[in-house]
Amino acid sequence: MTTRAVFALIAAVLVVSRLCHSQVLWAEEGLPLAAALQIISGKFLYSEIWFDKPPLTTAVYILWGAHTGWLLRLAGALYAFLACLLAYLLARDLWGAREGRIAAALLAFFLTFGIQSAIIPLAADLLMLVPHLAAVWFAWQRRALWSGLAAGVAVLTNAKAAFVILFCGILLYRYLVRFSLGVLIPNAAVLLWLQQAGALDDYILQVWELGRLYSAHTFVTEPWKEGVIRTLNWAGFHAALILPAAWFWRKEAGSQRLLFALWAVLSLAGVFTGWRFFPRYYFQLLPVFTLAAARGITGMGWMRWLAVLALAIPFFRFAPSYVTLGASALAGQPSGWRDVALDRDSQDAARILKREAAPGDTLFVWGFRPAIYAYTRMPAASRFLESQPLTGVLADRHLSRTDALSAGWIQTNRRELTKSRPNFIVDGLGLYNPGLAITRFRDLDLWLSNYKIAGRTKGSLVYQREPDFKIGGVLRPRLFQQRAPGAQ
């Protein structure tokens, strides 16, 4: 196939696969969407919006008005296409157009047939893919400043870009001044912008201090064992990359073999950082193994068909879900797929809010359910878009556990929350984990006494604020009349 035909096919596959998800929001995209909506409404990131990710992870959603549906999915397809284009350019410049086409096709395949909660959302780990590839491409061309700029942008999407900077710095050890300048420019610009807006301290706390606490408090009991098992599982599903990549490392002559091995080791270190092994973290391995596989497969002779046959593993594992979601999208009906049950509940809660809320009414969501903001487009009543900074219990465990971080700012945040007056509160956590229901926190009782339950879904309670009324001539909040099941 010609290069043009390959990219036409890639574009078609990426667009169709992502449009199948046009009626679904995955957990990792809810928060950046919600934050982007608040930015559009005039709030400033970090100082007026609590957001624990680097700024570009939400800023990118502003480009299409933080809309959900087909527009969001077309944006995701375009981003994945750009990653495939960069994989093509890097492989072409290293070896030739044939390897470039293979690299682009392999990357498109694994950005389509994978764990869909990872490959579909434009979240931090996927967003780093494009600047990661760009930084390495420029580094191999000895374009140090441009490589640094791309690596610097990567830091603004994901702190794990430090491993990209390290690898590119090794490639460009003779040009470290220009490379370092490139890394510095976008990050210094953002820090200056935050400083002038009075949001720098909030940025450091929310992104870096909370990120440090997140990395130090994994829920995994045996992280090394878990990491090895998860990595072997990833390798099995990506056997179509692993087999030709192994051939590449065995047969390739010269320094490229060693440099690619170093790239792979540093990328694997990025996966292991934080001691959690969610599928989305393995995007850090995709560039190096895709490129190595593209080169290896061209020299395998008849054995290349083993790699081609290995593509059947992820294809048959993940293709049926596209049929399920696509049929639901075409019918305009919610999908019955179990993996999107939590999102269905968020949509149900959003329908209650749309029915009950008046224009301008504000919202607070308890639990990691910020997609409700995206579905309703209601303004947030406080800078907290979910409950992690209010409970200290991280979202990777809060559906089943109650162990919290030890940080003084958690209670301070709850006191700040009680100064807000949302028209509606959605507790999207308490019915799943009663120990973390909003009614369990005694310092919120007086604040909650102004609310009554206005609606309920399978997994959410919707509270509406009641008007204050007078007792003895003094404005007093109404006593709390209804509590969530399991409340003390």
pLDDT in tens, 451-463: 999 999 999 999 9
pLDDT at res. 86: 99
- pTM, two decimal places: 0.92
pLDDT at res. 468: 67
pLDDT at res. 440: 95
pLDDT in tens, 422-446: 999 999 999 999 999 999 999 999 9
pLDDT in tens, 3-39: 999 999 999 999 999 999 999 999 999 999 999 999 9
Q: How confident is the model at residue 331 (pLDDT cuts 50, 70, 90)?
A: confident
pLDDT in tens, 87-106: 999 999 999 999 999 999 99
Which carries the bigger pLDDT value, residue 472 or residue 304?
Answer: 304
pLDDT in tens, 254-283: 889 999 999 999 999 999 998 889 999 999
Sequence spans of domains, the chain: 339-476
Stretch 310-331: mean pLDDT? 90
Q: Is residue 385 scored above 50 in pLDDT?
A: yes
Stretch 99-127: mean pLDDT? 96
Whole-angstrom Cα distance, residue 173 to residue 429? Answer: 50
The least confident of 172-176, 223-227, 413-417 is 223-227
Q: Is residue 483 scored above 70 in pLDDT?
A: no
Q: How confident is the model at residue 471 (pLDDT cuts 50, 70, 90)?
A: very low
Stretch 149-155: mean pLDDT? 98
Percentage of the residues of the chain whose pLDDT score is greater than 90: 83
Which carries the bigger pLDDT value, residue 353 or residue 332?
Answer: 353
Q: Is residue 206 scored above 70 in pLDDT?
A: yes
Q: Is residue 486 scored above 50 in pLDDT?
A: no
pLDDT at res. 300: 86
Contact by Cβ (8 Å): 95, 295:
yes
pLDDT in tens, 50-83: 999 999 999 999 999 999 999 999 999 999 999 9
Stretch 110-131: mean pLDDT? 96
Stretch 225-231: mean pLDDT? 94
